[in-house]
Structure 1
């Protein structure tokens, strides 16, 4: 009788722990993967300030005419929205990929940079961000297939002589690296990634530790449960969303940029990503820069590094 009561008590405790972990997993899935206000993101004002080191670029973007381009997502469930800004007479296009919860409107200074370098720019809102439809944030893994469709649309509209570069910031950088491992048209010449993570799972684990000060237990089982929920809702396990694995398949040139004071996507990740790629590569770790601040902190050098890199591969 005592053994039966003991087993009953133990089973109840195990069930309770299981229910708590499932509930926590659902909560963290909503926090990480469902669009909406995020308390862990710093709010940014759209108001232009002359003290901003990128004021000129942002002012240009605000005034420039933008074409609207649309595609259906790769799974045909959502319509995706993009800004296209032509550069007169150019046969070069950069596809500019925003970060987590950012939109194409937040990437105006990067559109300006590439326009100044002689490129058309196509800047899409990722699924469920900005004006693009969608239920969940995919952290780059499902979005990589959308970018392939955007590449095909650039060639369809601008012709087969178009030369294409893929640039990404933060989540967009991870997306760019994931795209690099796909079978792509020969017109894709190069990639630039700025502060992208090694894998979705690595980034989620890092944020659980940093934002919630969560120790290894319960972090490990919780992330595994979150990954399982992600598989059901979004269609993939988070460990499958790997920049590193995709970079192993890449033969195209890639420029890696990362701030040496990045704690949101830790700087150490860039060295792993850099080692993984199989194509020509350059690495620039920017001094005293936090997450996604390399351009604002080093505007002239940022432009020069990108211009010098692309001049080797895009004519």
Structure 2
């Protein structure tokens, strides 16, 4: 083979590899911006939820339940809400809304889903808690709404924010206050991860996790394979490298299964049977590894984070029973 031909092959191979590497980095960086960067700071582009949450934030997200969600949101907006603030472990100002109730029997900290808000996720649920006599504290997750932050970390840092909010409630309402953690989707992952922290105040009586995924890596791996039809390697590894560099966390830094192995509180798991974003198998895996008192409620036919809308009666009965069982009357 002529030297010129060999040289051309080598240069072509190197050039092709460089182009492939550049394309991989560009694609990974694009999805990093869509999945991790604060929603209101992103450059305009394709709807991130079509990638990160295949069933979220589209016009048809709630389908036949759209009016129910809108009514719940309007009800919550009509209530007297108090905005409170605290500081995160990394010095971000975090905000939360309080829906108070006279002679509250306890407080539920309700943590919203990816790129969402308390009003959107908890209008109907907050009304149920309110009518049952529970104060509702609804944080804005970091990098969302009234809270500071540039990056969403899918529970990795949010779980520490949950621990901080539980401390805020204990300091404000006392060590005997009955506190429950309730999360939806990414919020559910956040509250489950918080359960692994020894710093979680003792007056946290129980945890309600609706549609939790196990870790950012497990979630992204499922989405990349199912929706993007890409192998986890090298795409996710490239995206994680960017995430480590820019946002300071890795996709496998922590998981709900690690946290649940250390959990000492009772846990109520709720999950939709037809969840296409977070497979039901993740809920079952979380349930199996949990060593405390636990219950798994599967909502037939429900897609991601829609269990309460699909079968309100089953969800309300399960949550109400859970609260009654673990609320202390001192």
- TM-score for the superposition, normalised by structure 1: 0.91
Q: Is 1:306–2:306 an aligned residue pair?
A: no
Listed as ranges, the gaps of 5+ residues in structure 1 are none
Judge conservation of contact 1:57–1:113 (CA < 8 Å) in 2.
no
Q: Tell whether the 8 Å contact from 1:180 to 1:249 is kept in structure 2 after alignment.
A: yes
Say if 2:118 is the partner of 1:104.
yes
Deviates more, 1:96-105 or 1:294-303: 294-303
Distance 1:150 1:191 in 2: 14
1-structure distance, mates of 2:80, 2:208 = 25
Q: 1:91, 1:161 within 8 Å by CA — same for their partners in 2?
A: no
State which of 9, 15, 20 in structure 2 corresponds to 1:17.
20
Alignment-derived partner of residue 169 in structure 1:
184
TM-score normalized by the length of structure 2: 0.87
For 2:270, the equivalent position in structure 1 comes to 257
* Matching of residues 1-315 of structure 1 within 5 Å: 1=3, 3-36=6-39, 38=48, 40=50, 41-43=56-58, 52-53=67-68, 57-76=72-91, 78-106=92-120, 107-183=122-198, 184-212=200-228, 214-216=229-231, 219-315=232-328
Cα distance in structure 2, aligned partners of 1:304 and 1:56:
21
The alignment partner of 2:252 has SS state of helix
What 5-or-longer segments of structure 2 have no aligned partner?
Answer: 40-46, 51-55
- SS of the aligned residue for 2:103 comes to coil
Q: Deviations over 1:117-173 (max 9, x none)?
A: 221111011011112121111111111111111111101111111111100001101
- C-alpha separation in 2, matches of 1:51 and 1:267: 24
User: CA separation in 2, counterparts of 1:169 and 1:235?
Assistant: 24
Query: Contact 1:58/1:112 (CA < 8 Å) preserved in 2?
Result: no
How far the C-alpha of 1:257 sits from its partner, in A, is 0.4
Distance 1:206 1:71 in 2: 34
Alignment partners' CA distance in 2, 1:75 and 1:155: 21
Looking at structure 1, the residues matched to 196 and 128 of structure 2 have their Cα atoms a distance apart, in angstroms, of 26
Cα RMSD after superposing both structures: 2.1
Aligned partner of residue 309 in structure 1, secondary structure = helix
